[in-house]
Amino acid sequence: KKRVVSGVQPTGAIHLGNYLGAIRTWVSLQDLYNTLFFIVDLHAITLQHEPEELTNSTKSTAAMYLACGIDPEKASIFVQSHVAAHAELTWLLSCVTPIGWLNKMIQFKEKSRKAGDENVGSGLLTYPVLMASDILLYQCDLVPVGEDQRQHLELARDIAERFNNLYGGRKWKKLGGRGGRIFKVPEAMIPPAAARVMSLTDGTAKMSKSAPSDQSRINMLDNPDTILMKIKRCKTDSVNGMEFDNPERPECNNLLSVYQVVTSKTKQEVAEECKDLSWGQFKPLLTDAVISHLKPIQVRYAEITADPVYIDRILANGEDKAREIADVTLANAYQAMGFLPRQ
């Protein structure tokens, strides 16, 4: 079976973008592949954070994975920092990653501009190397993510290839290794629709956990009244009739895509159904569809969080399975670089 890995940062509430861009795809993959889904807590400290919030957010993110339908019988769910190999491999990979590659990362440029020089820790720059470790440790084939992670995935592939070229093959064999490549080079898997869910208040900006206004996103745990208000107040335009792919109407395209995915309809069906609708007619349809899609997830979330021991057990179990795979790759990487083996 092919292997799949992915994760979400525990920084605040999970929103519809995280779900439609990533978690929803994970659920569909767990029957077909060996899947590992982690909560990337080490990634959540690249900008200033509140320790207590990190603790809470890590637990609630794990609960949300389960509520969305990740099945611990099929997938391994674990916390990134619990498997030390992630942090260890990151050091090795950092030393083969040219700083120029990191400087080119769009997310780094955006985040560091917003944070201001004084607040930018070096972890914000090396963050994609940690992400590469998350992926490469598991020799995975596919990484299901939203569109905004495409560039980081490319970087992980480049790092894998560079490491393999520098230290794999005959050199590694001479040191007692298997020879060949140390890391498998993975592929990104980006959903065909809603891979980039946009803000409710600006159709040209990504829906994001860090946007100051909560009005800009629909959180997975928003209650029906909140969802109703957010959609009621969201940005629209003055054109009648709803349409996909008109670059002049980013809000319209975005909300149609959300509608398409939460109703499991095809793009054609939605285009046909909505082409003559005004915004005033479309918004209640969207509101109902979002509320009813999220309802069972919210019910499960409440059940799961009522029993905190349940989650702890699942995370401990997932961690064991993950460590088994990760430690082999880490040992290979050390060996290929010529580190004296531990006795």
Q: How far apart are the first and last CA of the chain?
A: 33
Per the residue annotation, which of 206, 230, 235, 283 is the catalytic one? 206
Query: For residue 331, which of 172, 225, 170 has the smallest C-alpha distance?
Result: 172
Smallest gap from Cβ 145 to ligand TYM, in A, equals: 3
Alpha helices in the chain (DSSP H): 16-18, 24-29, 51-68, 85-94, 99-103, 106-115, 122-136, 150-167, 169-174, 224-233, 250-263, 267-274, 279-305, 308-337
Give the span between the Cα atoms of 58 and 40, in whole angstroms: 8
- Smallest CA-to-CA distance from 97 within 128, 65, 54, 59 is with 128
Give the pair of three-digit tokens for residue 145: 């993510």
State whether residue 189 is helix, strand or coil: strand
Identify which of residues 35 and 335 has a Cβ nearer to ligand TYM in the complex: 35
Please state the closest distance from residue 38 (CB atom) to ligand TYM, in A: 7
Contacts of residue 234, defined as CB under 8 A and 6 or more positions apart, other chains included, come to 200, 201, 215, 251, 255, 283
Mark whether 111 is an active-site residue.
yes
For ligand TYM, the closer of residues 155 and 291 by Cβ is 155
Closest CB to ligand TYM among residues 172, 322: 322
Residue number, 89 or 195, with CB nearest to ligand TYM: 195
Question: Which residue is catalytic, options 74, 184, 209, 321?
Answer: 209
| Residue ranges that bind ligand TYM, judged by CB under 6 A | 5-9, 17-18, 20-22, 40, 43, 131, 134-135, 143, 145-146, 148-149, 152, 195-197, 206-207
- How many whole angstroms separate alpha carbon 71 and alpha carbon 284? 32
Identify which of residues 69 and 169 has a Cβ nearer to ligand TYM in the complex: 69
To ligand TYM, the closest distance from the beta carbon of 83 in angstroms equals 12
- The pair of structure tokens assigned to 29 is 């993959």
Name the one residue in this structure whose structure tokens are 């525990």.
10
Burial of 299 (0-12, 13-18, 19+ CB in 10 A): exposed
For residue 6, the minimal CB distance to ligand TYM (Å) is 4
The distance of closest approach from Cβ of residue 177 to ligand TYM in the complex, given in angstroms and rounded to an integer, is 25
| Residue with the shortest CB distance to ligand TYM | 21
Q: Which two tokens stand for residue 85?
A: 């190999």
Q: What is the dihedral of CA 174, 180, 182, 184, to 10 degrees?
A: 180
| C-alpha distances out from residue 181 to 75, 171, 221, 314, Å | 26, 11, 43, 32
Cα separation, 343 vs 330, whole angstroms? 15
Q: Which is nearer to ligand TYM, 44 or 172 (CB)?
A: 44
- Residue 1 appears among annotated catalytic residues: no
Kindly state the tokens that stand for 135. Answer: 């992926």
CB of 7 to ligand TYM, least distance (A): 4
Minimum separation from the CB atom of position 260 to ligand TYM (A): 14
Is residue 235 among the annotated active site residues?
no
Q: Which CB, 21 or 177, lies closer to ligand TYM? A: 21
Catalytic residue among 111, 230, 235, 283: 111
Residues annotated as part of the active site? 111, 206, 209
